[in-house]
Amino acid sequence: MDTSNRPSPLPSLFLSHGSPMTALEGHETGQFWRQLGASLDANYGRPRAIVVVSAHTSARQPLLLAAARHEAIYDFGGFDPRLYELRYDAPGAPALAQEIHGLAAAAGLNLQVLPQGGLDHGIWVPLRSLYPEADIPVLPLAFVASQSPAQQFALGAALRSLSEQGVLIIGSGSLTHNLSLLFSSGQMPAYDAPELPTSAEFRTWWSQRSTALDWPALLDYRQRAPHAVAMHPSDEHLLPWYVAAGAGGREHAPQRIHSALSYGCLAMDAYAFGPQAEALAARLAPP
């Protein structure tokens, strides 16, 4: 692909995707996703393809779902019936999958390629707002949920060169994710319920350590972050952050580009990584 006219490398992203209901209700995060998609197009050019690591697509070893086409997967139950009528039929990226297989092999990583498809809600819910036309090829990358943050970072680092070739790398999960807290009072809290102090402390710590480029603390967050285990009893929803961070590189401070909360404890924060992260954060900052 000719990238000579591309303004600059794309930043990699981490998006907290929240409840599937975000696809219907939107709230401030849906509005942010639309703004983010428009800003990426205007300042970095239309992506050639999108590689997404979602908390809801994991495997025993890293693998790429390299189908020629994808459809939305409704990997949830008990929600508004209208959700099951929403579609996101996007092209796949089998050729890019082979390219990434080579990059991973060069980095000493065993990354499998399967001719299968499907986009879980951690992928299609934000993409419906970012790129509603569903015209950009999507390549899901299944990660290994039992691997460490450092291993996830190394997986992302193997993909770093893709940002200079017009490939947008997204990690989709949640900066905080303890669903039992949602029902600790016996009923679901309001969407705009006040934030729990434990959630606020964790989110603030994460933003501060990111700005400070404190990779040792971030990579060892379960020992160093306040209330880490309470915010992530299991950390599959946070691990995609490290893949996106690895694609951005250690030398650039991760930038929080969106700060929001749902139900008092489910973070909707978004981060950008790489040499363009700071500029993107400035463009997206409220006036």
Contact 137, 49 (CB under 8 A): yes
* CATH number of the domain within which 117 lies: 3.40.830.10
State the virtual CA torsion across 2, 48, 158, 169 in degrees, nearest 10: 150
* pTM listed for this prediction: 0.95
Q: Give the pLDDT score at 2.
A: 43
State yes or no: pLDDT of 6 exceeds 70.
no
- How many Å from the N-terminal Cα to the C-terminal Cα in the chain? 36
Q: Could you give the percent of the chain with pLDDT greater than 70?
A: 97
Q: Which domain holds residue 272?
A: 12-284
Say if 6 falls within a structural domain: no
Residues 6+ apart with CB under 8 A from 62: 104, 109, 110, 111, 112, 141, 142, 143, 144, 155
Total of domains in the chain:
1
In sequence order, the β-bridge partners of residue 90 are: 70
What pLDDT digit, counting tens, does each position of 81-123 carry?
A: 999 999 999 999 999 999 999 999 999 999 999 999 999 999 9
State yes or no: pLDDT of 186 exceeds 90.
no
Using pLDDT thresholds of 50, 70 and 90, give the confidence band for residue 5.
low
Mean of pLDDT values over 136-145: 98
Query: What's the whole-number average pLDDT of the chain?
Result: 94
Say if 2 falls within a structural domain: no
Say if 1 falls within a structural domain: no
Q: Give the pLDDT score at 194.
A: 93
Q: Give the pLDDT score at 216.
A: 98
Dump the DSSP string for 236-249: TTTHHHHHHHHHH-
